[in-house]
Amino acid sequence: MAYKINDDCIGCGACAAECPVGAISEADGKCVIDASACLDCGACAGTCPVGAPQAE
């Protein structure tokens, strides 16, 4: 299981700052989650202003 950031992402970077394992990086103005590193903790979803990180 991992979270995935959908197209609603506005690239604010708030989720990357909260991720405990540094699984979130930015590419082309949006953030992406490295599924192999994600712990499924949900911190990114709790921080995102637009609800872009979704549990898969």
Binding residues vs ligand SF4 (CB under 6 A): 3, 5, 9-15, 18-21, 23-24, 31, 33, 38-44, 47-48, 50, 52-53
User: Closest approach of Cβ 28 to ligand SF4, in Å?
Assistant: 12
Q: Are 38 and 2 in contact (CB under 8 A)?
A: yes
Computed on alpha carbons and rounded to an integer, the radius of gyration of the chain in Å comes to: 9
User: Closest approach of Cβ 27 to ligand SF4, in Å?
Assistant: 11
DSSP percent split of the chain into helix, strand, coil, nearest 5: 20, 25, 55
User: Closest approach of Cβ 45 to ligand SF4, in Å?
Assistant: 7
